[in-house]
Structure formats: structure tokens, C-alpha cells
A and B are shown apart, each in its own frame.
Chain A
Amino acid sequence: MHNPLRSEADAFRWVVVIGLGAVSVIGLTLLTRPVFGVVWAALLIGFGVGVAYRSSRGSLPRSVELTKGGDGRRRLLVVANETVGGEALLEEIRNRGRGGDSEVMVVTPALAASRAAHWASDVDEAIELARQRMELSLIEIERLGLKAKGEIGDSDPNVAIEDALRVFPADEIVISTHPPDRSRWLEHEVVERARDEIDLPVTHVVVDLVAEGVTKN
């Protein structure tokens, strides 16, 4: 879902629509009886709520603003949560970092344990777990001989990517997920959305932690 009221222009449209609705209610009330106006107003409100709900469904088409590097260094943005320490991901980073001055930024979205915890902003534990995983992965990446830094990101991976790109002039993005049958990110089309919204190469790496024998946090 997206916010149907994002700008003054959106607000103005609502004023016009509500104003027209009010004119019809006022006209009906003055021409007939107040009870008809009340019924008509209730119908319009119900219809309006339905239209607002329908118009707020889905994501808006958009493009992400990129930061420019310009110093010749190759920068890789890695987005991963539970799979951040996976062998397949480290192998991909190693391949990307070969033969040149490279820098890696790891973004680990902090995912709350449940939707209720997310809405209640009960994310302290999720942030701590994400931080632990991220720091371990940074150690692994530095062992590969690459400069690395990390950040805990928004629970929405696409928002986390957008945030990171504001401060990190990445040349390429690597998104790491669980296999399709276990990945919520793939279910929510995180990779497809990133490819649609960002004008950078996006590589998808599947990390099977079960097969790798890595114990989750």
C-alpha cells in the first residue's frame, strides 16, 4: 500500500472531490429532507473510503536517486539479513572485489519478529540480531581483503537500499535471499522492485543456509 495523500496536489484533489460531494448532500437536503441528506452523505463516505482504499493499493512507480562516486573506486552495496554470512554471498562478493580498489557496504534490514512487533515498533531485538550478523559478515568480508562498512537498514529492504544509496555511491547491488520456497523477500518481489526502481545492475544471490549448515541467530 502507499499513502494516497502525498502532496498538496493530492490534497487539492481531495478538497474538490469532498466539495462536490458536499454540494450534492446540501442540495439533496435543501430540496428534500435532512434524513435523505444524511443517507446520501453516509453512502458517499462509504464510497469515498472504498475509493481511497483502492487507490492506495500497490506501490507507486518510482526511481531511486543515486549518489555519484567519481573517485575510481568500485563500490558494491550488499543487502542481506539472515543470509548475510552465507558462503554463496561471500563468494559473490569475493568475485566482485577482484582486481581493483573496491569497497563494500553491507545493509542488513532489521526485521521484526512479527507484524504486531513491527507495528508496535518493537524492533530492538531485531536490530541487535541484525547488527550481530552484519558485524560478523564485515569481518568475513575484510578477510577477503576488501574495505567494508555496514549499516542496519529499514525493515523494508527496498527502502533500506534507497537509504543506503543516498550516502553510498554504489556501482552495483547484490541482494541475498533464502531459496524461493523460504524467502519472504522474494514473495514480496524485493529483487524485481529493486531492478525496476534503481538504475544500477542488481544481482540476486540465493543462500541456502540449511545446505551450508549455518546456524541461524
Chain B
Amino acid sequence: MESATVTLGGHAHEEEHHGPPEANQSSRIDRQTLGILLFIVSEVMLFGAFFASYFFLRVVVDPPSWPPHPYELPVAVAGVNTAILVSSSFTIHYALESIRRGNRQGLKLGLVLTWLLGATFLFIQVNEYVHIGFSARDLAFGSIFYGLTGLHGAHVFVGLMLLSFATIRAFRGHFGPAAKDHLGVEVPGIYWHFVDVMWIIVYTTVYIL
């Protein structure tokens, strides 16, 4: 017998393989993309916990008005901010479509625009916190508002970090048209879309409904 390799259970023969068993490669999706999808699943659960608190407050506690008097939410400004963030999904998609076609300039432009839009969103949100007129200590309303929007803001910040790395690498010529050659943009791109979707949900539920 030449070899009898066991990849799932780690029964590899001693004479052939030392150390931990080789990673099982049974997946029809590359490991990086699968990793970010699993991470997003965990993030959905995290946001779900915050939304559960929010809906408990809205439905079970049922305050007479929302937001509670005398607080007001800057719906219009947040709406503009929402448009800015959603626009960044289009620019990151443009960046990826560009590199898929071998257009490196388009990749760089798309990434820079995405980063700028994301940073603008974060700046406006911080500015909103400064001028909104209540803090996280003002009723459960303040806690859940800052909890949800702050949690999302932290995700935007992480997304901006990922985009920064991708942008730097793009300017260094790291990415290519083949799918395996631009995973460094694909994975942050998926994360960025997730951040956008979460904001759409946060804005709709917290500011509008």
C-alpha cells in the first residue's frame, strides 16, 4: 500500500505526515469567502440581539411616543447619510467589476471612492452624536439608540480598515482579474455590503418606523 491518507479524521499514517492533519478542502467555495460568510452569520446574530432589545422596548414596554418626548431623531440627515453609505456599495461593486475586467485604474478609483464615502458616513454619524441632544444614559431609548447605531458605526470603522488595506494593496499592484487574485478586495467587499444592509435595516427601524 503506497499511502492511506485520512483528511477528515486525522488518521494520517505516521510515516507520511507529522503534525496536525491537513485542512479538509471539501468546499465549493474558497476558504476566504466562506470565512467571511460565516463571520457575517455571527454578526447577524450579534445585531439580532440588539434588535431584540430594540423591539422589546418598542413593542413590550410600548412608550406613548417614539422617540419618547422630548427627544427627536435627525431623520433627514440620517437619510442623506444612508444614501451616502448605499452609494458606497455601488462604488465597491464598480471596483470589483473593474478588476474582473483587468481595469486596475477602475479598481483604485472604486476603492478610494468607497473609502471616502464610508469615512464621510462615519464623520456625519459622529457629528450627529455631538448635536443630537441626548446621551446613552437618557432612558432605555438613548441606550438602544447609541447601542445599535454605535455597533453599526464600529462595523463601518472595521470595514474602513479592511478597505484601507485593500486600497494600499491595489496601489501596489497586488490584484489581478482572476477570481483568486482579487480575494483581498472580494472579501472586504462582501463585508462592506453586509455593513450597508445592516445600516438600511437600522435606519428603517430606528429612524423611520
Interface residues, chain A, with chain B CB atoms under 8 Å away: 3, 5-9, 11-12, 14-16, 18-19, 22, 25-26, 29-30, 34, 37-38, 41, 62, 110, 123-124, 127-128, 131, 134-135, 138-139, 142, 147-154, 156, 159-160, 162-163, 166
Contacts and interface: CB of A to CB of B under 8 A. Distances in A.
A166 B25 contact: yes
B193 interface: yes
Contacts of B93: 8-9, 12
B9 A124 contact: yes
A160 B208 CA distance: 50
Contacts of A15: 86, 89, 193, 196-197, 200
B37 interface: yes
Interface of B: 1-9, 11, 24-29, 33, 37, 86, 89, 92-93, 96, 185-186, 189-190, 193-194, 196-197, 200-201, 203-204, 208-209
B74 to A, nearest CB: 15
A11 B208 contact: no
Contacts, number: 122
A110 B4 contact: no
A25 B201 CA distance: 11
Given A26-B208, A135-B1, A11 B6 contact: no
A21 to B, nearest CB: 9
A7 B28 CA distance: 12
A163 B196 CA distance: 35
Contacts of A9: 93, 96
Contact of B9 (A16, A41, A147, A152): A152
A141 B193 CA distance: 52
Contacts of A22: 200-201, 203-204
B208 A14 contact: no
A3 B29 contact: yes
Given A8-B190, A131-B6, A138 B1 contact: yes
B11 A131 contact: yes
Nearest to B26: A154
Contact of A19 (B5, B86, B194): B86
Given A150-B4, A152-B6, 4 more contacts: A11-B190, A25-B209, A124-B9, A159-B27
A97 B187 CA distance: 45
Contact of A128 (B4, B9, B25): B9
23 contacts: A3-B29, A6-B33, A7-B33, A12-B92, A14-B197, A18-B201, A19-B196, A22-B203, A25-B208, A34-B208, A41-B209, A110-B8, A127-B8, A127-B11, A131-B9, A131-B11, A134-B4, A138-B1, A149-B4, A150-B1, A151-B7, A163-B7, A163-B25
Contacts of B189: 8, 11-12
B204 A138 contact: no
A107 to B, nearest CB: 10
A5 B25 contact: no
Contacts of B208: 25-26, 29-30, 34, 37
Given A5-B37, A8-B96, A11-B194, A148 B204 contact: no
Contacts of B6: 127, 131, 151-152
Contact of A3 (B7, B37, B96, B194): B37
